[in-house]
Amino acid sequence: MFAYYFELALRSLKRSRGLTLLMVLAIGFGVAASMTTYSVFRAVSGDPIPWKSSKLFVPQIDMWGPKARDPNGDPPDAMDYTDAMALMRAHRARYQSAMYQISPSVVPANASKHPINVSGHAVFSEFFPMVDVPFKYGAGWTADDDTQRSAVAVISSKLNDKLFGGQNSVGRTLDIEGKDYRVVGVTDHWNPQPRFFDVVNTGGFTDGAEDVFLPFNRAIDVGMPNNGNTNCNEVPKESGFVGLQHSSCVWMAYMVQLDDAAAVQAYREYLDGYARDQQKAGRFGWAPNNRLRDVPAWLDAEHVVPSDTKVSLLVALGLLVVCLVNTAGLLLAKFLRRSSEIGVRRALGAQRSAIYAQFLTEAGIVGLAGGVLGLLLTGVGVASVGWVMPKDIASLARLDVSLLAITLLVAVVATMLAGLYPTFRASRVQPAWQLKSN
Amino acid sequence: MNIQIRPILIALRRHKAGTALIALQIALTLAIVCNALFIIHQRLANLSQASGVDEANVFVISNQWANADESTSQVDAQVRADLLALRQLPGVLDAAPASGYPLQGGGWDNLVTMTLDQVKPTTDAAVYLGDEHFINALGLKLVAGRNFRPDEVSVVGTQQNITPATVIVSKALADRLFPDGKALGKSFYAMGTTPSTIIGIIDPLHRQGVDLSSNRYAGQSLIWPLRSADVRGIHYIVRAKPGQLAAAMREAPKALLAQSRMRIIDPKDGIQDYAAIRQKVFETDRGMAVLMAIICVVLLAVTAAGIVGLTSFWVGQRRKQIGVRRALGARQRDILSYFLTENLLITGGGVLLGLLLAICMNLWLMLRFASQPMPMAYLIVGVLLLLVLGQGAVLAPALKASRVPPVEATRSV
């Protein structure tokens, strides 16, 4: 029976080629615009570490007080040195690491080559197991290296390719800012987007690399300055990087791993207790106002998905709706034109369900054709989205099987929905009236 | 010409669903197009923001130092040697050190207060550090007061806090702080414990950033007479002689490397002219404008095509009735005006609903995405656009209808 309806639909569509083409084009463009913007939205709103994001938390401490809170009453979204170090010393979470952005220069062993500038983070040893950094060679450094302030480094495979020709460089030395560091690990193509562990300094999405990780205490000791944002509510009393460490300026990211609800609750209580102690000591003149958000909530609070991406998606969806309304109008005209044909079929015993099947098949075929066109246009759209969206975000948009499947599905389902009312009207055609008027 | 609206309305009642769908489509199109046009216009307005810089001749070198443990005086000696070398190049008019530059994309800003113990800041200013060559190197226009004297410029090390006694401000900042227009010689605090006295006024001078928070303090910036000796790096602002930009951009890095090789100038974006800087900082705005424009065009095309398709269909359906009217004496232009009026009524209905939707959509964007309120002009433009679009789209099928011969009345269906 379906084959018969299929043939009928093709015939009917061929009869008015212009109208058919118009519907297919409208569906194709509408679906392609929506899917292209959706591919970008999907890329930026995804979970960068889905297997663990609900266990990773970002603590915020209210070290500036009520005057500096944002409109939601939130404290600063970064950490000052004093409080970050207090939290590190207390060591209340399964894993924890304070971190700050660095941008040191690496001097290649080959004297004829220019020094190169690399970017990365100064972190504690627990950072590596906490955020599941994949290693190609070696591993992160140990807690002993943290306390002994060892001159060790973890580098990216890209930097490893550049400096050591891609060989296993574990144990070899590296000249960073004129000092030797021993390579203990090489990361394996690690580029999480958004940079959930340091949203404040990267803005979430970045085309910058994480080329080098150094022990936090070591970086502080050698005075390796912070290359990220620094926010102050008052001017530091002392100058230089040491002055920054003694100030209330916030310039560090902080992350902890808490494995279950009890641990989360305990950590919350610890943070509040810490703030109360500071209040008692006279450092904070206000009641505790801390935050502890897991990664998805943190990304949401930091607005990492650009509002442009959302607005684009909404406007494109609006375009799709207009295309569907357009298609509904055209299908209605097309179906009702065949009232006499429907009348004959009904008079010969066809049931309403048969009429439904016939016309929804026709709508489905239009949707499928529109979907195929939409697929092609979505391909073009995703490939060229870099023209209209920031490169670091556009480059994340991918054309994969699931996107292709969604495109076709949206096209067919949406067109059949658009065809529902016209089909309903077609099924209501009175056979007697049609036969008489002929 | 006497247009009969009643018969049209009666005829439309027989196509309630089709009429409603077209009207709905027009309403949605109007709502989206108005808001998209508003977004496009805002973004394009951003693109043409004046920086105050002599953009045709200025380029910026981002220089990082390879050895981080040098002292402030060592770094400053290198900076001074570099500047001397740059200023001596044949194609170079002037060069200056800088901590940041207009349209950089983001950077240093300080809260501004009028008194030391003021709790709520008066406003916010972008902070530029430069020497007595800074204004000339950027090609800024000094509209009042004077430039820095060489003896007023001091050296500032890595993350060192110095509040100079003198400051040059943008006119936007001067007017914000001293609305009476007498800013020269007055002083204010910019997160320091000592005040800075205004000695000169520049107009205009864009901030480093172009984002929402920067736009709230648009054009408010200050220049402090400080030569940065930050171990992390420095920007050199170089102004080429007219027509010699390309040559100067080629020669400058060579001159710097001849001074010292212990520096890193990124091969990709270490040296940028203002065309590149402007391009980069407004990339998002331009992209959003283009995307909205594409969607508008597709939207209008789909709606126009939909009107053509549906009207053609209606004309085909009513050939016999048109023939009867013609046989009874209706002229071709009566038929034409019938269809044009019919479209005007449908579009008019759609536009009324669309106005409501457009305003709702704008309110919602304001609520969710901190958008601005949309001026009435966009609604008027949108309405006119759709009325013209509707009439244009209906013209071809209506002309076809007007050519239906009266003899059609005698034929059966």
Same domain, A40 and A82: no
Same domain, A359 and A252: no
Of B35, B295, B313, nearest to A319 by CB-CB distance is B295
Cα atoms in the 13 Å half-sphere on the side-chain side of B129: 27
Same domain, A27 and A139: no
**Are the C-beta atoms of A57 and A263 separated by less than 8 Å?**
no
How far apart CA A119 and CA A99 sit, in angstroms, is: 13
Answer yes or no: do B161 and A319 touch at CB < 8 A: no
Taking the Cβ of residue A417 and every Cβ of chain B, the question of whether any pair is shorter than 8 Å is answered with no
Of A22, A115, A241, nearest to B264 by CB-CB distance is A115
Burial track B216-226 (b if 16+ CB lie within 10 A, e otherwise): ebebbbbbbbb
Chain A hits for B291, CB-CB cut-off 8 Å, are 37, 312, 388-389
Question: Testing the interface with B: which of A72, A105, A110 to mutate, by most B Cβ within 10 A?
Answer: A105
| Closest CA relative to residue A158, chosen from A195, A211, A103 | A211
Which of A147-151, B222-226, B267-271 comes out lowest in average pLDDT? B267-271
Answer yes or no: do A234 and B413 touch at CB < 8 A: no
Taking the Cβ of residue A315 and every Cβ of chain B, the question of whether any pair is shorter than 8 Å is answered with yes
Task: Give me the pLDDT at residue A19, please.
Answer: 85
ipTM of the complex: 0.83
At B348-372, the pLDDT tens digits run 999 999 999 999 999 998 888 878 8
Answer yes or no: do B291 and A307 touch at CB < 8 A: no
**Are the C-beta atoms of A381 and A32 separated by less than 8 Å?**
yes
CA–CA distances in Å: residue A182 to residues A107, A137, A138, B149, B361: 14, 13, 12, 49, 58
Burial degree of A349 (CB within 10 A; 0-12, 13-18, 19+): exposed
Answer yes or no: do A322 and B18 touch at CB < 8 A: no
Asked, for residue A294, whether it belongs to a domain, the answer is: no
Task: Give me the pLDDT at residue B1, please.
Answer: 47
pTM for the model stands at: 0.84
Chain B hits for A318, CB-CB cut-off 8 Å, are 28, 31-32
Answer yes or no: do A333 and B309 touch at CB < 8 A: yes
Taking the Cβ of residue B191 and every Cβ of chain A, the question of whether any pair is shorter than 8 Å is answered with yes
CA dihedral A352, A355, A356, A357 (to 10 degrees): 120
Answer yes or no: do B309 and A19 touch at CB < 8 A: yes
Answer yes or no: do A244 and B159 touch at CB < 8 A: yes
Answer yes or no: do A329 and B370 touch at CB < 8 A: no
Question: Testing the interface with A: which of B264, B308, B320, B346 to mutate, by most A Cβ within 10 A?
Answer: B264
Asked, for residue A285, whether it belongs to a domain, the answer is: no
Same domain, A218 and A79: yes
Q: Please count the structural domains in chain A.
A: 2
Burial degree of A135 (CB within 10 A; 0-12, 13-18, 19+): middle
Taking the Cβ of residue A165 and every Cβ of chain B, the question of whether any pair is shorter than 8 Å is answered with no
Task: Give me the pLDDT at residue A436, please.
Answer: 67
Of B17, B159, B263, nearest to A241 by CB-CB distance is B159
Taking the Cβ of residue B32 and every Cβ of chain A, the question of whether any pair is shorter than 8 Å is answered with yes
Domain ranges for chain B: 5-47+284-410, 67-261
Task: Give me the pLDDT at residue A95, please.
Answer: 96
At B386-412, the pLDDT tens digits run 999 999 999 999 999 998 888 887 776
How far apart CA A156 and CA A186 sit, in angstroms, is: 5
How far apart CA A271 and CA A291 sit, in angstroms, is: 9
Question: Testing the interface with B: which of A315, A321, A335, A337 to mutate, by most B Cβ within 10 A?
Answer: A315
How far apart CA B339 and CA B396 sit, in angstroms, is: 10
Burial track B257-283 (b if 16+ CB lie within 10 A, e otherwise): eebeebbbbeeeebbbbbeebbebbbb
Is the pLDDT higher at A188 or at B314? A188
Of A67, A322, A388, nearest to B287 by CB-CB distance is A388
Taking the Cβ of residue B231 and every Cβ of chain A, the question of whether any pair is shorter than 8 Å is answered with yes
How far apart CA B237 and CA B277 sit, in angstroms, is: 12
Beta strands in A190-261 (DSSP E): 212-215, 253-257
A:95-154 residues touching chain B, CB 8 A cutoff: 103-105, 107, 114-117
Same domain, A336 and A226: no
Taking the Cβ of residue B412 and every Cβ of chain A, the question of whether any pair is shorter than 8 Å is answered with no
Same domain, A116 and A213: yes
Instruction: Locate the chain A residue with the closest alpha carbon to B301.
Output: A26
Chain A hits for B287, CB-CB cut-off 8 Å, are 387-390
The boundaries of the domain holding residue A85 are 62-257
Encoded tokens for A67:
């005057």
Taking the Cβ of residue B314 and every Cβ of chain A, the question of whether any pair is shorter than 8 Å is answered with yes
Same domain, A16 and A73: no
Asked, for residue A292, whether it belongs to a domain, the answer is: no
Asked, for residue A30, whether it belongs to a domain, the answer is: yes
How far apart CA B252 and CA A418 sit, in angstroms, is: 63
Asked, for residue A281, whether it belongs to a domain, the answer is: no
Distance, in angstroms, between B223 CA and closest chain A CA?
A: 18
How far apart CA A373 and CA A385 sit, in angstroms, is: 18
H-run or E-run covering A144: helix A143-148
Task: Give me the pLDDT at residue A111, please.
Answer: 66
CA–CA distances in Å: residue B108 to residues A199, A229, B2, B127, B243: 19, 9, 69, 6, 32
A:245-304 residues touching chain B, CB 8 A cutoff: none
Tell me which of A257, A283, A314 is where a domain ends: A257
Answer yes or no: do A421 and B25 touch at CB < 8 A: no
Chain B hits for A312, CB-CB cut-off 8 Å, are 288, 291
Q: Calculate the CA B57 to chain-centre distance.
A: 23
Question: Testing the interface with A: which of B291, B363, B372 to mutate, by most A Cβ within 10 A?
Answer: B291
Answer yes or no: do A328 and B21 touch at CB < 8 A: yes
Instruction: Locate the chain A residue with the closest alpha carbon to B365.
Output: A311
Quote the radius of gyration of chain A (alpha carbons, Å): 31
Is the pLDDT higher at B315 or at A168? A168
Same domain, A149 and A193: yes
Question: Testing the interface with B: which of A230, A388, A436 to mutate, by most B Cβ within 10 A?
Answer: A388
Asked, for residue A279, whether it belongs to a domain, the answer is: no
How far apart CA B349 and CA A425 sit, in angstroms, is: 23
Taking the Cβ of residue A311 and every Cβ of chain B, the question of whether any pair is shorter than 8 Å is answered with yes
Same domain, A342 and A194: no
Of B69, B290, B303, nearest to A387 by CB-CB distance is B290
Task: Give me the pLDDT at residue B412, please.
Answer: 61
CA–CA distances in Å: residue B312 to residues A9, A330, A333, B317: 21, 11, 10, 9
Cα atoms in the 13 Å half-sphere on the side-chain side of B121: 16
Same domain, A221 and A323: no
At B160-196, the pLDDT tens digits run 888 899 999 999 999 999 999 889 999 999 888 899 9
Q: Which residues touch B267 (CB under 8 Å, ≥6 apart)?
A: none
Q: Calculate the CA A36 to chain-centre distance.
A: 15
Asked, for residue A89, whether it belongs to a domain, the answer is: yes
**Are the C-beta atoms of A104 and B67 separated by less than 8 Å?**
no
Tens digit of pLDDT at every position of chain A (438 positions): 778 888 888 888 888 888 889 899 999 999 999 999 999 898 888 889 999 999 999 999 999 988 778 888 899 999 999 999 999 999 999 999 999 999 888 887 776 777 888 999 999 999 999 999 999 999 999 999 999 999 999 999 999 998 898 999 999 999 998 889 999 999 998 988 889 999 988 878 887 789 999 999 999 999 888 888 888 887 788 878 888 899 999 999 999 999 999 999 999 999 999 999 999 998 998 999 999 999 999 999 988 888 888 999 999 999 999 999 999 998 988 888 888 888 888 888 888 888 888 899 999 999 999 999 999 999 999 888 888 887 778 888 888 899 999 999 999 999 999 999 999 988 888 877 776 654
Asked, for residue A300, whether it belongs to a domain, the answer is: no
